[in-house]
Structure 1
Amino acid sequence: MGELIPGLPEEVARECLVRVGFDQLPVVRRISRQWKSEVESPEYHRLRRAEGLARPVLALVQARPAAAAGDAGPAADKQHSSAAAASGGPANSYRMVLLDPAEGRWAPLPAPPGPAGSLPLFCQVAAVGGAGQGRKRLVVVGGWDPETWAPVDAVLVYDFLTGAWRRGAPMPGPRRSFFACAAVGGAVYVAGGHDEEKNALRSALAYDPERDAWAALPDMAEERDEPRGLCAGGRFVVAGGYPTQAQGRFVGSAEAFDPAASAWAPVRDGLLEDGACPRTCCAAPGAAGRLYMLRDGHLVARDPAPGAAWRPVAPVPEDARTAATVSAIPGGRVVVIGSGCHGGDQAVYVLREEAGKGASWERAAAPPEFAGHVQASCCLEI
C-alpha cells in the first residue's frame, strides 16, 4: 500500500486523519481504499478517544425550519392530547440534527428515505456502536406517519461512516405508539406503549442493527403506556407509564430488563413518584447511573445509591421550561432544550455541576435554522 498522505510520514498523516470532523468522515472514507480502511479500523477510533478528539454530541429529531407548528392535520386523539400539547403542536416535517453542545456546532443529517423525506412524528431515537460494539449508528424506531398520523412500524438506520440512511427490518407485533426505547450495549430495546386500539402493552422487543433482526423479550409485569426508556447500570429500565384503564394517571414504579439474564425485575427503590410524567427523565452515561428530570421548573437529580432521594440541582431558565428535552452527557453536564411557551423557538442550555462550586447554566447558540421543536434526542460519542 502507498502512503496515507503523499510526502508525509505515516504517523503524521494518521494524526491528520484522526482530526477529521465527524461530519466529514463519509467524505474521507470515499477518497481512497486506504483511507476507507483507516477510518473504519478500531485503532482509528481508539486514537481519537485517546487524544480527546471523540466528543459527545446530541442527535435531535427536530422540526424543519419551514414547517409551521400546529397545522399538521387532524387533532390528536384525546388520550394523547397532552403529548401533542407538550410538543408545541407537531409539525409535518422532522429531520435529524447533530449538536455539539461544547462548541455550539450544529449539523443536519441527510434526509431519510421515503417520499416525504421526514422522520415520523413521535419517533424514538437511540445510538448504538463504538467501543467494540460495531460501527456507530443512529436507529430511529416507530412513530406516526407525518401525513396520515397513523402509527408505523418503520426502522431507519443512519451509518456515520457511510453518511447514509437505510431501512431496517420493521418492528414486529402490533404497531405501537408512545413506547419506551433505549440502547443497551449494541442493541435497541423497545417496551410498552399502546396498540392501535389504545390498549396499553406489556410486550418488549430488542433490535440488533448489525444483523438487522428483532427478537421478542419476555413481557413486563405491568402494562405501561407512555413510559420512559433508560439505559442505567447496563440494564434497560422502563420507568412510569400507566395501564389501559388509568389513561394518563402515571405510576411511579419501574422495571428493568437484564440482557445477561434475559429477565425483568422490579426497580424497588421508588424511582418516580406516582403521578409524575417520566418524559424528561434521563440517565447519565457510564456506570454512575445518576438520573435527571424536570420537576416544577427545576432540574432535579437522583443518585443510584439505594434509598437515594431526588434533590434539586438548579432552576431551569424560564425560556426553556416548556416542551423540554433533557439529556445528560459526559463530564457532569446536562443539556436542556425547550421554549418559553408552546410553539416558541427552542433555547438550549448546558448545565455543569462542579464540586464545591454548585451548578451553573450556559446558553448555547442556536442559529435560526435550528430553532425548531425537538421531539426526541439521544447522546452519543463520535
Structure 2
Amino acid sequence: MGDELIPGLPEDVARECLIRVGFDQLPVVRRISRQWKAEAESPGYNRLRREEGLSRPALALVQARPDLGEAGPAGKQSSTAGGPANSYRMVLLDPAERLWTPLPDMPGPSGSLPLFCQLAAVDGADGRKRLVVVGGWDPETWAPTDSVYMYEFLTGAWRRGAAMPGPRRSFFACAAVGGKVYVAGGHDEEKNALRSALAYDPDADAWAALPDLAEERDEPRALSVGGKFLVVGGYPTPAQGRFTGSAEYFDPATSTWSPLQEGLIKDGACPRTCCAAPAADRMYMVRDGHLLARHGTASASAEWRPVAPVPEDARTSAVVSTIPDGRVVVIGSGCHGGDQTVYTLREEAGKPASWARAPAPPEFAGHVQAACLLEI
C-alpha cells in the first residue's frame, strides 16, 4: 500500500473513509497496514469522529447471558458442580438505532463478568475509549473480588488492571469523572458499611486513596455532575437497608468532600435508578412506578416532580439513563426475572410525555446488573 492510506485517494478523502469505520471493526483496521494502525491510534481519530458527528451514544450493559436470562437479578441457579452458574457478559445498546452488540468474553475459565461489578467509561489521555469493570463477586464462589478489567475498543480485547486496594468492598458507588474512575462507600466482607474512597487512573494503571466520606454509605449511587463525583444515598451499618436521602460530592480540583444537601432524594428511597442529565442540570429516578425529574442538582429549593408513569412491563427497573439528545432511557421488566424491555421518553414543553417501546431481542433479554453511558 506504500505510504498512502488508501491507494488512489487523496489523504483527506481516505481519512474521511477511515473515520466511518464501525467501532467493532477497529481491531481489524489496525491489522490492515501500519498506516491504518497509526491513523486509528492517533489522538485526532476520535476527535475527527466527533467533529463529523459520527460518534454515537451507547449504553454499556452488564447483562445475563441468554440461557440464564430467566434466573433474575441474582441468577440463583446451581451448576452440576454444585456452585452458582451465573454468567454475565458486556453488551452495547444503541438506544436510538435499537442496536445490540455483544462484546468479547471476559478473560478467565467462565468468561463471565463478576456479579454485581461496577462499570465506568473513560477517555484516556491518548483519546482511546475504555470500559472499566471494578470489583464484584466471583461468579463461581460469590466471594468479593478486588479485580479491575479494562476493555479497549481500539484493540477489541480485555486486559487486567491494578487490583483495587482493600478492604474488598461490595455494592459501592462508582463513576468516571475527568478520565478517572472514582469509588466510594459500600461494605466490607464483614458487612460493615464504609466511608473510604479511592480514585483509579487507567492511563497510569494506579489507585490513589481519597479523603473519607462524611458518613458511612452502603449501596450508594454515584453520578458524574459538573466535573464532580456525586455520591447519593446509602445507609450506615446499624441501619441495614434504611436508606438516607442525603448526598455529598468530591471535587477533584480541591480534593475535598462537601455535603450537597439533606434530602436530595426521599429518605428510605433506594438511589439505584438515579441518573443525571448534566447538560440540562437535571436528575431523574424511578420511584413508586413513576419517572420523576428534578431541575437543579445543587439547588436546595428544587423538588422532584412526576414526569410519567413507567409502563408496567418495565417497572422492575434495572437501568435509568439519559442520552445527549435529551431522551430518558428506562430498561426493565414486569417482574424479577422477566424479559427486559427498553423504553425511551423525551420531555417537550407543552406536550404530554409518551414512551417509545422497543422489546429486547430474545438473545438480549437477560437481566441487567450494571450500566453506564458512553459515546463511541
Say which of 351, 356, 359 aligns to 1:357.
Answer: 351
Counterpart residue number, 1:60: 61
**Structure 1 partner of 2:254:** 261
8 Å Cα contact 1:134-1:186 kept in structure 2: no
Answering whether residue 94 of structure 2 is matched by residue 72 of structure 1, we say no
The answer as to whether partners of 2:317 and 2:330 remain within 8 angstroms in 1 is no
Match in the other structure for 1:294: 286
Partner of residue 224 from structure 1, selected from 217, 228, 234 = 217
The answer on whether the counterparts of 1:134 and 1:210 sit within 8 Å (CA) in structure 2 is no
Is 1:3 aligned to 2:8, yes or no?
no
Structure 2 CA distance, aligned partners of 1:19 and 1:352? 28
Verify the 8 A CA contact 2:43 2:126 in the aligned structure 1: no
AA of the residue aligned to 2:33: S
Residue 93 of structure 2 is matched in structure 1 by 99
Aligned match of 2:14: 13
1:158 to 144, 151, 174: 151
Kindly state the Cα deviation for residue 287 of structure 1 after the two structures are TM-superposed. 4.2
Paired with 2:173 and 2:149, the residues of 1 have a C-alpha distance of: 17
1:1-382 equivalences under 5 Å are: 2-67=3-68, 68-69=70-71, 70-73=75-78, 92-129=86-123, 134-268=127-261, 270-284=263-277, 286-304=278-296, 306=299, 307-382=301-376
Displacement of 1:288 in angstroms is: 3.4
Structure 1 residue identity aligned to 2:98: G
Contact 1:57 1:379 in 2 (8 A): yes
Name the aligned partner's letter for residue 105 of structure 1. Answer: L
The 8 Å contact of residues 151 and 175 in structure 1, kept in 2 or not, is answered as: yes
Q: What is the Cα deviation at residue 237 of structure 1?
A: 0.7
Asked if the contact 1:182–1:230 (Cα under 8 Å) also holds between the matched residues in 2, the reply is yes
Contact 2:327 2:346 in 1 (8 A): yes
Amino acid corresponding to residue 359 of structure 1 in structure 2: A
| In structure 1, distance between residues paired with 2:104 and 2:32 | 20
1:134, distance to aligned residue in structure 2 (A): 3.7
Identity %: 79
Instruction: Tell me by how many angstroms 1:271 deviates.
Output: 1.1
Q: CA deviation at 1:366?
A: 1.9
Alpha-carbon distance between aligned partners in 1 of 2:12 and 2:354, rounded to the nearest angstrom: 41
For residue 3 of structure 2, give the secondary structure of its aligned residue in structure 1.
coil
Deviation sequence 1:356-375 (CA, Å, 0-9, x none): 33422112342111110001
Unpaired runs of at least 5, structure 1: 75-89
Q: For residue 338 of structure 2, what is the amino acid of its counterpart? A: G
Partner of 2:15, secondary structure, is helix
- C-alpha distance in structure 2 between counterparts of 1:18 and 1:312, whole Å: 42
In 2: Cα distance, 1:194 partner to 1:171 partner: 14
Q: Which amino acid aligns with 1:46?
A: R
Number of residue pairs matched by the alignment: 365
Q: Could you list the runs of 4 or more consecutive aligned residues of structure 1 that deviate by over 3 angstroms after TM superposition? A: 70-74, 286-289
Partners of 1:208 and 1:287 lie apart in 2 by: 25
Q: Name the stretch that deviates more: 52-61 or 308-317.
A: 308-317
CA deviations 1:141-200 (Å, max 9, x no partner) are: 011111111111111100110110001111101110000000001100000000000100
Output the CA distance in 1 between the equivalents of 2:121 and 2:351: 32
User: In 2, are the aligned partners of 1:133 and 1:185 still within 8 Å (CA)?
Assistant: no
Q: Counterpart in 2 of 1:85?
A: none
**Is the 8 Å Cα contact of residues 143 and 152 (structure 1) preserved in structure 2?**
yes
- Measured in 2, the distance between the counterparts of 1:133 and 1:277 equals 37
Give the counterpart letter for 1:13 in structure 2.
Answer: A
Using a 3 Å threshold, how does the CA distance of structure 1 residues 47 and 320 change in structure 2: closer, same or farther?
Answer: same
TM-score, normalized by length of structure 1? 0.92
- Deviation string 1:227-265 (CA, Å, 9 cap, x unpaired) is 001111111111100000000000011110000100000
Q: Structure 2: 5+ residue runs without aligned partners? A: none
SS of the residue corresponding to residue 267 of structure 1 reads strand
Alpha carbons 2:78, 2:85 under 8 Å: kept: no
Contact (CA 8 Å) 1:323, 1:342: kept in 2 or not?
no
Q: Judge which range, 143-152 or 355-364, deviates more.
A: 355-364
8 Å CA contact retained: 2:293, 2:307:
yes
What is the TM-score when the length of structure 2 is the normalising length? 0.93
What residue identity is the alignment partner of 1:310?
Answer: W
Kindly state the Cα deviation for residue 51 of structure 1 after the two structures are TM-superposed.
1.6
Q: How big is the shift at 1:331?
A: 1.0
